[in-house]
Amino acid sequence: MLIKGIHHVSMNCSTDDVFEKAKDFYIGVLGLKVFREWNEGILLDTGSGIIEIFAGKENTGEVGAIRHFALLTEDVDRLADSIRKAGYDVFIDPDDRVIPCDPPYRLRMAFCSEPLGEHIELFCPKGEGS
């Protein structure tokens, strides 16, 4: 297979203030580490891919075909609580789900909004086949 995985997700911030809020959310609230940083942007290490955020770029705010991206975590509840305490919206509370496939795919998840308006799923697979 030629594709090895998702390398990064890229987002734009239209102002320096929004850029700083995004950095604070991903670094301060979610605890991601800086992989690289330069005047116009930052790369944040998720552990299995990169989130790239640009400063001073037009952000249309339009919703495209991609509904959200999911961040893998071992503790959905703790992360959702940290996000709420930081003043961000957790619009689907932590919940156990089962995707009805064969074998069933058990998971714990929650959804939140981040400073740029993107929806993020907090995702933790449970049990066999995770």
Select 1-58's CATH number: 3.10.180.10, 3.90.420.10, 3.10.110.10, 3.30.70.3270: 3.10.180.10
Q: Write down the pLDDT at residue 15.
A: 87
pLDDT tens digits, 14-66: 888 989 999 999 999 999 999 999 988 999 999 999 999 988 767 656 656 67
Any idea which architecture 67-130 has in CATH?
Roll (3.10)
Can you give the residue ranges of every domain in the chain?
A: 1-58, 67-130
pLDDT tens digits, 57-69: 676 566 566 778 9
- Domain 1-58 shares a fold with domain 67-130: yes
pLDDT tens digits, 76-127: 999 999 999 999 999 999 999 999 998 999 999 999 999 988 899 999 999 7
Average pLDDT, the chain: 89
Give the residue ranges of DSSP H helices in the chain: 16-23, 76-85
Question: Is-contact 44 50, C-beta < 8 A?
Answer: yes
